[in-house]
Structure 1
Amino acid sequence: MTKQSVRVGLFVTCLVDLFRPSVGFAAVKLLEAAGCVVEVPAAQTCCGQPAYNSGDRADTAALARNVIAAFEGFDHVVAPSGSCAGMLKHHYPRLFDDDPAMKARAERFADKVHELVSFLVDVMEMPDQGVRWEATATYHDSCSGLRELKVREQPRALLGKVEGLTLTPLPGAETCCGFGGTFAVKYGEVSTDMVSRKCDDVAATGADLLLAGDLGCLMNIAGRFRREGKRVECRHVAEVLAGLRDVPAIGEGG
């Protein structure tokens, strides 16, 4: 199978669909540039992570069955989110321990799941796209992408090819921003303290642009920056890699 014949099903994610469609458009642009044929199944729904983290296995399993059915025909399933990709890849098979046939389907599905940037680097070996973005940036590693999917060097490798972009290390880049989906709702005070510390670390780098691969982290951090009156742009890494300069930063009307 040649790279040009690779069929990719894009799992858009709820946050991208509802709050930041530009991330989805950027993902499609990057995947097509890498030689993929991209489709976005209309039947896809939430991955079920909020229900799963709240202990609702029945509703999670129902969502998982639907997602698996919608994406089974693709060579690869790609999500612009380490959190959602981690759910699809590592947690779906565990939902069906009492259903051997469905568990086998979930395992075959999980084998095809990738986080966007790691897929571009590790599978498609994406070449330099000739993008230019003048900024000093720093990068936040999301918990699921880093710990469940081992996504760390891949985004930095691609960002290193962006002309005009200076990438500066972020102290505590591997520390949680405090979002954690329902964690931010259930433990608001703890979450606020965590994201405030993260904002302090970002500001200390002197960067004017914060990048990450998970929209939940970015919305959480951008919201805290806004409340603290600090001006640091927050963007999904795919938007920069795709050169979407006309899209406002997260929390600034986009």
Structure 2
Amino acid sequence: PLLFSLVVSFINYDFQVPGHAFVGLKNFERVVFDPVARWSLLLTACLSSISVAIEFVLGLLVALTMVRSFPGRGVVMSILIVPLFISPVIVGQAWTLLLQRPFGPTNYILTQLLGQEVTIGWMTERPWLYVSLIISDVWQWTPFMFVVLLAGLTAIPPNLYEAAELDGVNAWQAFWAITLPHLGSMMLLALTFRLLDAIRMFDTIFIMTGGGPGTQTYTASYYLYTVGFTQFHLSQATAGSWLFLIFPALVVTLLVRRLLKVERV
């Protein structure tokens, strides 16, 4: 399949134009000089970076809270990981119902809390349409960060904290001196896997905004889908997929190198 897709990117494989003539780099040029393609790549980088950063911070805070045993801990953990098992399509539909104007409850709740009418178009107005996509992604994938980081926290020997406590080290100092160094590799692992998944964001966008208004919420995946399966320019979409592959390759290379450095230390 990879070899075939590479061949397709250099030929005319378009449902609107007959024949499969060799076109060289023209398909790649169309993508490079397409402002929508550049915008979709920029939006992909921004949405994935912001979403993963928020998920990481929230996941770490929840993991630090849940690492200690307390009554009902198992029940709470079971509830926290439920979003992981829900299809992104269902997540997108659920958040659409919650945020849509005028029938969604979100604006009503904000109106009651703020004491003035709130009529935000969560999926039609900038910057709120980006906020809504980030909220839905954070809600679903923060549990992933929590589970991975909790596994790393439970692997830290308790005697290190006991020794630090005897030396008069407070909780904040113990976090920087013990927790972070021992959790470094798990943090990078969680960030790597999550970033690779986040840059493929498509399902929730398809359900919540449909890429709109206009092309405002086109990510790389949505752009390739539109070009290939809506406009039927399959060769251009294939060329774009090879070009967009550079971005995740760079992310993986940087994070894996950093991970190997942490393991050697």
User: TM-score, normalized by length of structure 1?
Assistant: 0.26
- Flag the structure with larger Rg: 2
Which structure would you say has the larger RCO, counting Cα contacts within 8 Å and 6 or more residues apart? 2
User: TM-score, normalized by length of structure 2?
Assistant: 0.25
Structure number with higher strand proportion: 1
Structure number with higher helix proportion: 2
